[in-house]
Amino acid sequence: MITVKEALEHILGSVSPLGLERVDILSALGRIVGEDIHAPRDIPPRDNSAMDGYALKSEDTTGAGAESPVVLNVIEDIPAGYTPQKAVGSGEAARIMTGAPVPEGADAVVMVEETRSDGNSVRIYAEAAKGQNIRYAGEDVREGDLVMRAGTLLRPAETGMLSALGRSFVKVYQRPLVALIATGDELVDIDGAASPGKIVNSNNYSLAAQVMECGGIPLQIGIAKDNKDDLAEKFRDALRADIIVSSAGVSVGDYDFVKDVMEDIGIGIEFWQVAERPGKPMTFGAREGKPVFGLPGNPVSSMITFEQYVRPAILKMTGYENIFRRTIRAKLTEDIKKKRGLRYFIRGRIKSQGRGFVVETTGEQGSGILKSMVLANGIIVIPENVDFVKAGNEVMVQILDNSQDFTKDPEYLSD
């Protein structure tokens, strides 16, 4: 039996990022860029106006004020999207709209509110400083700048930046195809829920959702019967995926053949059993570098072991560097007793209180109690060498989702 830390190190040491693929920038949302992105041009591409108003020579406005307007000749109209045709000379101005290129000769824009149009001339009621209301070419991004490094997570801001740079496609890390195999003679699909003696193969649903949540692509291989032939057939079929995840059949029961079958088809077992609860029978193997996870069958065990081991592996293969959930220290609201020697993953509900957080368990913690996951927004992690934690002490909590951060009311407006 190995420790959680050893298991995790072993797994992460044996997986590496997949190759790159070229996808359109909207499909790349949430994925990791696989190339350094340099700006092929300035943004904005030309000096342009930040206001609707008049482009002029700032020196022409010296002495202008509410009682002493200067009068300039209007030589043209430059709407956004059009190129100025004339240079602005002394005593001249061009009417200009926000975003339109600043004409040659002009070094400032006076906003329309400080002017009054009068036929072919305009009265300017305020002095303009050089550069006023002009957005300069390259003030956002300069040609040649490194705008994004390989390894950057693509968020909406990066999507916008790529489009501004004229990129409609970008290289990102491939998403792993994750084969899911359920094992057990008792399993049926959802529509067989009422059959006597049978239980629904819920693992392949929770696991598929977990795969999707971290950006993998689930491949449903289905339910393998508890016999070596059927198991071997399903595992062979699964070998076309990048990662294989099975559940159940890895304990010491008479029908637990998953490990035997893995070896039979050339998947070397690298470890079996981890000092943890839930998830002790967890198995890990590999064939030609392809990771194979034999997760335990109980619905909570399979979800928790996925969280601890499969998720970080998927994220690493997808090019992520930050592959772990955020952990928060929170004050326990109840005593926790545990067995020394095993690391415990306890389902909990965390919420903020004052400046910190408090966490309570979600009740009955049996590894078949899926409701304990439904109620949870975090996993309380208690180390091997501890057998009791008293209420009021701080524990580490892995945050499963952001629900504890969301609020019904806009609290940022409560000032």
**Residue 76 and residue 298: Cα distance in Å, rounded?**
76
Note whether 31 and 215 are within 8 A (CB): yes
Closest CA to 78 of 61, 54, 47, 56: 54
Q: Which of 53, 184, 218, 291 binds Mg ion (CB under 5 A)?
A: 184
Q: 94 contacts which partner out of ligand AMP, Mg ion, none, CB within 5 to 8 A by kind?
A: none
Give the interface segment with ligand AMP, choosing from 52-60, 164-172, 183-191, 354-362 (CB under 6 A): 183-191
| Cβ nearer to ligand AMP, comparing 176 with 296 | 296
Q: Is residue 401 classed as helix, strand or coil in its secondary structure? A: coil
The interface with ligand AMP within residues 237-276 (CB under 6 A) comprises 247-249, 251, 253
Determine, following the binding rule CB under 6 A, whether residue 186 of this chain makes contact with ligand AMP: yes
| CB of residue 250 to Mg ion, shortest distance in Å | 9
Would residue 312 be called left, alpha or beta, if left means φ above 0 and alpha means ψ between -120 and 50 degrees?
Answer: alpha
Give the interface segment with ligand AMP, choosing from 16-24, 111-119, 196-204, 353-361 (CB under 6 A): 196-204
| Cβ nearer to ligand AMP, comparing 215 with 296 | 296
Number of residues that bind ligand AMP (CB under 6 A): 18
Q: 298 contacts which partner out of ligand AMP, Mg ion, none, CB within 5 to 8 A by kind?
A: ligand AMP
Radius of gyration of the chain, Cα coordinates, nearest whole angstrom: 31
| Cβ nearer to Mg ion, comparing 242 with 256 | 256
Q: Which of 69, 84, 184, 319 binds ligand AMP (CB under 6 A)?
A: 184
Determine, following the binding rule CB under 6 A, whether residue 49 of this chain makes contact with ligand AMP: no
Note whether 28 and 159 are within 8 A (CB): yes
| CB of residue 409 to ligand AMP, shortest distance in Å | 39
The interface with Mg ion within residues 192-251 (CB under 5 A) comprises 248-249
What are the backbone dihedrals phi and psi of residue 100, each rounded to the nearest 5 degrees, phi first? Answer: -80, 150
**Residue 222 and residue 411: Cα distance in Å, rounded?**
46
Closest CA to 41 of 140, 127, 175: 140
Give the interface segment with ligand AMP, choosing from 44-52, 97-105, 213-221, 292-300 (CB under 6 A): 292-300
**Residue 36 and residue 359: Cα distance in Å, rounded?**
42
Determine, following the binding rule CB under 5 A, whether residue 359 of this chain makes contact with Mg ion: no
Give the interface segment with ligand AMP, choosing from 201-209, 314-322, 330-338, 389-397 (CB under 6 A): 201-209
Note whether 158 and 30 are within 8 A (CB): no
The strand ranges marked E within 273-355 are 276-277, 283-287, 290-295, 327-332, 336-337, 343-353
C-alpha angle with apex 274: 202 to 373, nearest 5 degrees? Answer: 35
List interacting residues with ligand AMP (CB under 6 A).
Answer: 182, 184, 186-187, 199, 201-204, 247-249, 251, 253, 296-299
